[in-house]
Structure 1
Amino acid sequence: MSMNDLEKAGLPEQWVRAYERDAQGKVDYADPAWERRAARALAAFILSGTFFLALPGTFLGVWNLVQISVHRSHTAASAAWIQAHGHAQLFGWVGSFILGISLYILPKFRGRPLRSFSLVWTIWALWTTGVALRWWIGIEQTAWRFGLPASAILEFAAYVLTQKILILGGSAKKKPDDLGSWLGIWGFSSLGVALLLNLGLSVWLALVGRLPLFPPEWDNTFLILMIWGFVVVTAWGFSTRFVTIFLGLQPPHHQAARQFGMGIVALLVLALARRYLLADLLVLALAIYAVWALRVFQKPARPAKLVGAYRHYPAFIRLAYAWLIVGAILGVAADLMPRATGLVGASRHAVTVGFIGVLILSIGPRMLPSFLNGRELFSTRWMAASLWLLSTGCFLRVSSEAVAYSFGGNAWNLLPISAYLEFAGVLAFVINMAATMTQPLPAWFSAQGISAQLPLYWYLTSFPKTRTVLIQAGLKTLSKTRKAPRSLSLAEAAAADHADLDHLVVQLNAFFNERQPRRVGRNQ
């Protein structure tokens, strides 16, 4: 805003001088607006991810499993519906969570926070539309010859733009030397390969196929790339930071990065060559190596961080890694015993629900609220319920599917029970996160932390609802402007409008007292 514009606007002298200081770059504190915009973008990915988790993912999975159980045949459910369910889970739920969290934290880790969020919102729109379209094509099969490749193009475009931010937006420092960064690089590289395969298969089916259905062998290849190449590897990368911190583990073995890289490249080659037994043997070796490298089952160096979360969540994180090993073992068994048809599904379920699902439901409620503008988890009891229900359902599903598909009997009756338990666990997680995101922002400081020397901009940007409080308390100029200068203190703003500074502080005290965090350790 130019000086002429300021004078025409009739702003007080204090505001004019503050705008001049801003123009000269005389602002020496971090802009809280960035964090709010980043949290808003992350919230969009989390909300769309939870939608895909609850409805297209889990609900459709329950429906498919009930059909299979009623007819006592694993072919009773539509293969296209099963693939649509899997796509919604892997891309819609897990993929959205990984993309959102990566775009939120990785630029900060690399020392270059995002300056513009338009590209992030474009990525969200492309990814969400592509996943939703792919799910709808699998269910309705309407205009699928156009919709199937279109969904693949949208997803790949979102991936390319994500890499533009994560790679070109990084710092100019030397290449990373920590295990977590390298696992993230290999995980996203695997996602690129999987999306290219998805695009190629989608175009091929649109040209010569009869249904929007990947052939079984190529579907198996695609799932290995997505589950073991991208999702699991990226989860290991995040674990080097968050699981290590939350569980108080010793630092991971960073020197294992090269071995992981060679193993993941070999896995991609074997999967594309459709050498499934060798690929699954390598997966088992990588899973065992990951447990060792991450020190998940070794004696912790520090107590786990339990405040604000279900106190037994560290045990469920370790349970998730146990499921990872179980899933890898079942995958090898499925290759060695192809007549035991239930082993393939049991293996994938142990990994996707037992490992990925339980890991997200353990870490998500502990991590995401703090990312979303420093919120508190709504309820640790709901967190506990989600973990117990999902874990129990997963145990019943994995143990009964292998038996029911191969030998029949009463094991068929356990399948729908497992589905209902898992769906209940998912709903508990979704409700808890929704309630967390709709709570008022807590004020993580006492009333004594309110200062007349703090910038007015900080109050307005960190807690937008203070605008109404301050205008009613006497800051009339604030009602005439959209954005306050960053260097204008609360005391200067009060002097500009001849407002009672003590009254302003009292009103802010009342505002923040209503938003104090719940008592530490309180179990809601």
Structure 2
Amino acid sequence: MQSDDKLGASRIGAGYAEFHFGFIKAAILLAFWGGFAVGAHSISVMGLGFAPGPGFFAFNQVHGQLQLMGWVGLFVMGISLFFLPRFAGVPLEEPHRQSQILWLMVSGLLLRYFSQSLLPYFDDPLYWNILGFLAVLSAFFILFAVALYVTTLLMTMHTVFAGKARPAVHTVAPFFAMMLAGWLLYVMINFALVALMVAQKKIVLPYGWNQFMIDLFVLLSLVPISFGVGLRTLPLYMRLPAQNWPVRRAAWVYLTGVAVKLLADLVLLLGSDSMALLYISHAGTIAYSAVVVLLIWKLDVLTRLQQPWTEGRNEPVKPDRKPTRPGMPDYGEFGAFEKLIRAAFFWLLFAAVSELTVSTGWLLGHEPMVSRDAVRHMYLMGFITHLIFGMAPRMIPGFLHKRAVARPRLVQFSYWLLLVAAVFRIIPLLLPLSLEEMLPVLFKFLKIGLSFSGVFAMLAVAVLWVNLRDTARS
């Protein structure tokens, strides 16, 4: 096993809180019945050419909130509240807060789902005001839950952020700090915008601000936590190179690029029409995208060209020991999880290269060839969702004190379902409409695929739930 100085992993001991499986259950149920279901409805309306109803745009924002805070957010919360204290070697402070955080998050998300979905269908002031109040209350619950989550981790890991942690933890600490900052900024802006929406008698948040919040959460929370955990666990899980290089410097360059982009975009949203801010925003995008490409290369999860951390270790092998899978340290008891992880980093590389190309082209005077919507789906549907599907069967069995996932073959099945869903959801966003007249049959096929991509995603989520549920029960 990789040594502590390389992974910084901490063995489970007295005082460590047990894994709260409720976060995973809530994330999957909200995703299946809420986020992916609403998304499947919306894209089927677009793909099959139906006229959108009065609640179409409200449904889209509900879909985004449930996916970010419910599907991804609850997964991140559950994993991080268990993993980060052990990684840092300190027990979780006030572990009873986990249940409070979970119930506040679930209550807030259900209230948002209910209230904003119904707002477009009520003109009566009494009912509208009740639904509006519930929408604001939902944002407050989520704000309170995230405040509890962030303060709990800060109390637990204050030595890490103070620079007193072991070297392996200290190396990736900036990624965890970014993640917590991103959570807080997102929920504070979300609360302010929901309150403003209700005060102005609107049914949706302002489009530009909504997209800004998504970018903020993806770039400042989701990408950093993925690298913070991935740089220390994936070498162990997949026999990748040890990350003995200046990771912290890369993290600070990434943060600088993200901060420059987000601050420039914020000033533009507040009403500035300065062209200089657009140049600054694109320069920041180039900086953080280049760091993402560097991190993927250093991790070597796609190419496998570098020596794994096990190279040169002369550990005796028992003659009767069953051989592990080629290039992997396991025997297949977690399924083909590595396919999902490689797919995740392929989509992340695709997103980063797309952003590099678009921003560099814009600075040189060329129109962007890839829409921002396509890039967001590469990050969320492509990278983050595949990463969850890959890491869940590999990490969660151990968190539950199990030696294997209950149904390893279902991991491969979920890979194919998710591949179809991602391809048909993202590829149509990349093709210019000018090609439709030249390739009408292809576009018709892609529109049909787009219409059913949400259904494939829902099936993949159902398969993941069956596997994790049976693992927890075994």
Name the structure 1 match of 2:331: 307
Name the structure 2 match of 1:50: 28
Name the structure 2 match of 1:187: 179
- CA deviations 1:47-77 (Å, max 9, x no partner) are 1011122111111111111011122789997
Question: In 1, are the aligned partners of 2:257 and 2:285 still within 8 Å (CA)?
Answer: no
State the Cα RMSD in Å.
2.9
Aligned-partner Cα distance in 1 for 2:384–2:48: 28
Name the structure 1 match of 2:262: 271
Of 385, 389, 392, the match for 2:417: 389
SS of the residue aligned with 2:431?
helix
Question: In 1, are the aligned partners of 2:40 and 2:452 still within 8 Å (CA)?
Answer: no
Query: Cα 1:115–1:313, aligned 2, differ >3 Å: closer, same or farther?
Result: closer
Aligned-partner Cα distance in 2 for 1:77–1:321: 35
Aligned-partner Cα distance in 2 for 1:138–1:272: 29
Q: What letter corresponds to residue 176 of structure 2 in structure 1?
A: G
Name the structure 1 match of 2:472: 437
Aligned-partner Cα distance in 2 for 1:167–1:339: 40
SS of the residue aligned with 1:183?
helix
Name the structure 2 match of 1:287: 292
Aligned-partner Cα distance in 2 for 1:183–1:237: 5
- Normalized against structure 2, the TM-score is what? 0.77
Aligned-partner Cα distance in 2 for 1:423–1:338: 35
Correspondence list, 1:34-183, <5 A: 38-39=18-19, 42-71=20-49, 78-114=56-92, 116-141=94-119, 143-170=130-157, 172=159, 175=163, 176=165, 177=167, 178-183=170-175
Name the structure 2 match of 1:465: none
Query: Cα 1:136–1:362, aligned 2, differ >3 Å: closer, same or farther?
Result: same
Between stretches 428-437 and 56-65, larger displacement belongs to 428-437
> In percent, how many aligned pairs have the same letter?
22
Of 420, 445, 462, the match for 1:427: 462
- Residue 403 of structure 1: how far off its partner (Å): 3.0
Aligned-partner Cα distance in 1 for 2:403–2:110: 29
Aligned-partner Cα distance in 1 for 2:250–2:461: 35
SS of the residue aligned with 2:205?
coil
- Residue 235 of structure 1: how far off its partner (Å): 1.0
Question: In 1, are the aligned partners of 2:112 and 2:138 still within 8 Å (CA)?
Answer: yes
Aligned-partner Cα distance in 2 for 1:242–1:75: 46
Question: Which one has the largest radius of gyration?
Answer: 1
- CA deviations 1:80-133 (Å, max 9, x no partner) are 111111111111011111111111122223333136432221111112212222
Q: What letter corresponds to residue 346 of structure 2 in structure 1?
A: A
Aligned-partner Cα distance in 2 for 1:293–1:279: 21
Q: What letter corresponds to residue 309 of structure 2 in structure 1?
A: A
Question: In 2, are the aligned partners of 1:67 and 1:77 still within 8 Å (CA)?
Answer: no
Aligned-partner Cα distance in 1 for 2:394–2:344: 16
Q: What letter corresponds to residue 58 of structure 1 in structure 2?
A: F
Correspondence list, 1:106-505, <5 A: 106-114=84-92, 116-141=94-119, 143-170=130-157, 172=159, 175=163, 176=165, 177=167, 178-211=170-203, 213-274=204-265, 275=278, 277-296=282-301, 297=303, 298-299=305-306, 300-302=308-310, 303-309=327-333, 312-331=336-355, 343-374=371-402, 376-403=404-431, 408=436, 409-410=443-444, 411-439=446-474
- Residue 301 of structure 1: how far off its partner (Å): 3.3
Question: In 2, are the aligned partners of 1:397 and 1:415 still within 8 Å (CA)?
Answer: yes
SS of the residue aligned with 2:371?
helix
Query: Cα 1:281–1:135, aligned 2, differ >3 Å: closer, same or farther?
Result: farther
SS of the residue aligned with 2:246?
helix
Count, aligned residues: 404
- Residue 192 of structure 1: how far off its partner (Å): 1.4
Q: What letter corresponds to residue 51 of structure 1 in structure 2?
A: L
Between stretches 369-378 and 234-243, larger displacement belongs to 369-378
Aligned-partner Cα distance in 2 for 1:161–1:437: 26
Q: What letter corresponds to residue 47 of structure 1 in structure 2?
A: K
- CA deviations 1:247-287 (Å, max 9, x no partner) are 11112255131332243244134224315544543442232
- Residue 399 of structure 1: how far off its partner (Å): 1.4
Query: Cα 1:392–1:283, aligned 2, differ >3 Å: closer, same or farther?
Result: farther
SS of the residue aligned with 2:226?
helix
